[in-house]
Amino acid sequence: MTRRHLAVCGVAALIGLLMAGCTAAHASSAPATSAWHPAHDTAYGAAGAPSPSTTTTHRPGGSPTRSPSTDPSTPASPSASNSPSGSPSASPALEGKGLQLAMDKTADGSVALTFDDGPSEYTPQILAVLKQYNVKATFCLVGVNVKDHHDLVQQIVAAGHTLCNHSWKHDEHLGDKSPDAIRQDLQMTNDEIHKAVPDAPIKYFRHPAGNFTPAAVQVAQSLGMTPLGWNADPRDWDLTANKPGAPFTAKIANYVRTHVHAGTIVLSHDSGGDRSSTIAAYKQVIPALKQKYTLAALPTS
Ligand SMILES: [Zn+2]
């Protein structure tokens, strides 16, 4: 099964119930930027993963953290990345399912850059760009990648960025499982993060592909995490429609430049494929954003 994200400026009626400080629903002409999330569940079939059967696709050039040489659970052939289930035409009904249940804007009007699916070998480059411009961001970590990159988690925390749980192996259907299974997945992810940084606060949970369910929301909250959505998706994950390079970089940068407003939470990725265009785009666009907005990590207290 493939997975995707749907950027929704949702009428987040439940937000007020879900998180203190989150202001009224942000109704807008939702741009319907239906977005495919990087498909990479297959690679997350690590030992102990709740449901290896849910893993399916992995795009070419996927994160080296899940390369065959480093992760035996990774599909041996890139062809696995292009399985029919990876087609953007599949299962539109799943797009962004439940995203309206999550926080979709910051409480204080700051702009939150969020980077999902890592850590990976691209994470240090993202960290370098953020450091260059003295920007704090939020990283939504996948458990199996945390397991491979404790050092990068430590670097993220040391740099002052906020952590977010993005599930153990990016199971887009996690929220449809039993509360106990959801809890096990989220707790296992938090535990792995805490092996790297014992005291690191993990105050957010972003369901893979934004497929929040009431059960997933409830479990996340019971573990002290706020469901985290987004309201700007530059589709930097879309390596099917785009090849890494200047045009893709410009596309991402232009989207961010034109869709960021006060309170925007921007979805981006530091794993799940070649992230060079994401990195280059933020090098271009962060200085301009800083002219108009405060770029901040999501609060942890
Ligand atoms: Zn993701």
Tell me the per-residue pLDDT of 16-51, one tens digit each, with 9 for 90 and over: 334 433 333 333 333 333 333 443 333 333 333 333
Q: What per-residue confidence (pLDDT) applies to 96? A: 66
Residue 131 has pLDDT above 90, yes or no: yes
Residue 171 has pLDDT above 80, yes or no: yes
Residue 221 has pLDDT above 80, yes or no: yes
Q: What per-residue confidence (pLDDT) applies to 116? A: 98
**Higher per-residue confidence, 75 vs 117:** 117
Residue 198 has pLDDT above 60, yes or no: yes
Q: What per-residue confidence (pLDDT) applies to 87? A: 31
CA of 290 to the centre of ligand 1 (A): 26
Average pLDDT over residues 155-180: 98
Q: What per-residue confidence (pLDDT) applies to 97? A: 74
40 catalytic? Reply is no
Residue 1 has pLDDT above 90, yes or no: no
Residue 123 has pLDDT above 90, yes or no: yes
Mean pLDDT for all residues in the chain = 78
CA of 80 to the centre of ligand 1 (A): 18
Q: What per-residue confidence (pLDDT) applies to 95? A: 52
For residue 133 the two structure tokens come to 């411009």
207 catalytic? Reply is no
CA of 293 to the centre of ligand 1 (A): 25
Point out the least confidently predicted range of 26-35, 207-216, 260-269, 284-293. 26-35
Q: What per-residue confidence (pLDDT) applies to 33? A: 35
Q: What per-residue confidence (pLDDT) applies to 284? A: 97
pLDDT over 90 percentage in the chain: 66
Average pLDDT over residues 186-209: 98
Residue 85 has pLDDT above 50, yes or no: no
Q: What per-residue confidence (pLDDT) applies to 45? A: 33
**Higher per-residue confidence, 87 vs 294:** 294
CA of 289 to the centre of ligand 1 (A): 24
Q: Which of 41, 238, 269, 270 is catalytic?
A: 269
Q: Which of 104, 116, 171, 185 is catalytic?
A: 116
Average pLDDT over residues 101-121: 97
**Higher per-residue confidence, 249 vs 90:** 249
Q: What per-residue confidence (pLDDT) applies to 38? A: 43
CA of 113 to the centre of ligand 1 (A): 14
